[in-house]
Amino acid sequence: MNYAAYSDGGFDPSSNNNGGSAGGFGSESNKPRWATQFISPVTIKMIKDATFENGPDAAFFTHGIELSYVRFVGMLRAIEEQETHRLLTVEDGTGSIQVRLWNREREGGDEYGEELKDEEEDDQDNVETELKLLQYVDIVATVKDFNQKAQVQVQNVNVITDFNIIPYHLLNVAKNYLTNKHGAIMTTTNTTTTAGESLFVGNDGTGSTAGVTGGTTTDRVIGCIREQSKSMPDGVPVNFIASTLELAIDDVQTAVAELHQEGLIFSTDDDDMYLPL
């Protein structure tokens, strides 16, 4: 499993693309709002503690971090079937929350659902449909305002089969919280990991450093997509990745398919262009 691909949840506190306001989520005056939104790794308590700020482009904030897109992990405690959607109750040890997952085929819906479903529809292609109680899930969602109350709309949900992802996510939440509060505390350029020293367990039972050192084709591809997406908000083309990394197109497509299946990237309007989750 490529754990490095989960690092920062799509949020890079040190990136110049983040703008200048709290938590790196601020919007510069010369950038559209979508260009400065990132996926923030959070706990459910952080979502429930969020407060709504009025004004243009109003959003929810928790500990100075804007909650536009969020990523959290937890256990499915309840699944309530509706005509147009499912309500999932997820619990992560810090609290529980009910989130909405639109069905792939739906008609009608409440007033709020009608407003959002066209916006959400294109993001549901990769959503895992075979969900069961007591499964651990990895969820990427948007936090929407509904009468100044936070309502969580699922963009992508994957069943967790490698449980190393759970502690990794919680460590990532802590890292980004501290980075937001105190400034950058660590970068990958000044840290090293030697074989056998990784916190996470590899498939062979040893400490796995694959994905930290970035030696595999998959690691290089996800790294390229993350780096180039800063200047390519519409998606990074497969041909460009192959040219940049000097790899065969077939190898890049294989790596992209693996990353897409793991829920680490998504295709944009063009099936050959990808952005990181």
Q: How far is CA 174 from CA 35, 41, 163, 200, in A?
A: 25, 9, 18, 17
Residue 13 has pLDDT above 70, yes or no: no
- The residue that leads in pLDDT, 194 or 267, is 267
Residue 96 burial (10 A CB sphere; 0-12, 13-18, 19+) = middle
How would residue 6 be classed by pLDDT, with cut points 50, 70 and 90?
A: low
Alpha carbons 88 and 132: distance in angstroms, whole number: 10
Kindly report the CA angle at 265 between 259 and 269, in degrees rounded to 5? 125
Count of other CB atoms within 10 angstroms of residue 68: 19
Residue 269 has pLDDT above 90, yes or no: no
What is the pLDDT, as a whole number, of residue 249?
A: 86
Please tell me the chain's helix, strand, coil percentages from 3-state DSSP, rounded to the nearest 5. 35, 25, 40
- Could you report the per-residue pLDDT of 162-196, keeping only the tens digit for each? 889 999 999 988 888 887 776 544 444 444 444 44
* Residue ranges, CATH 2.40.50.140, the chain: 39-103+129-183
Task: Specify the 3-state DSSP secondary structure of 32.
Answer: coil
Count of other CB atoms within 10 angstroms of residue 28: 14
- The residue that leads in pLDDT, 271 or 242, is 242
The 8-class DSSP code of residue 123 comes to G
Alpha carbons 90 and 154: distance in angstroms, whole number: 12
| Mean pLDDT calculated for residue range 38-54 | 84
| Mean pLDDT calculated for residue range 32-58 | 72
Alpha carbons 100 and 79: distance in angstroms, whole number: 10
Residue 1 has pLDDT above 60, yes or no: no
What is the pLDDT, as a whole number, of residue 237?
A: 87
* Residue ranges, CATH 1.10.10.10, the chain: 217-276
Alpha carbons 236 and 195: distance in angstroms, whole number: 32
Residues 6+ apart with CB under 8 A from 224: 236, 241, 244, 245
Alpha carbons 252 and 91: distance in angstroms, whole number: 36
How would residue 104 be classed by pLDDT, with cut points 50, 70 and 90?
A: low
Q: Which residue has the tokens 């992209």?
A: 256
Alpha carbons 101 and 82: distance in angstroms, whole number: 10
What is the pLDDT, as a whole number, of residue 88?
A: 93
CATH topology (fold) of 217-276: Arc Repressor Mutant, subunit A (1.10.10)
| Mean pLDDT calculated for residue range 8-32 | 42
CATH 2.40.50.140 given to domain 39-103+129-183 = yes
By the 8 A CB rule, do 76 and 135 touch?
yes
Kindly report the length of the chain.
277
Alpha carbons 133 and 76: distance in angstroms, whole number: 5
Kindly report the CA angle at 256 between 152 and 127, in degrees rounded to 5? 30
The 8-class DSSP code of residue 104 comes to S
Ranking 96-105, 107-116, 133-142 by mean pLDDT, the lowest is 107-116
Sheet holding 273-276, edge to edge: 236-237, 273-276, 265-267
Q: Distance from CA of residue 203 to its chain's centroid? A: 24
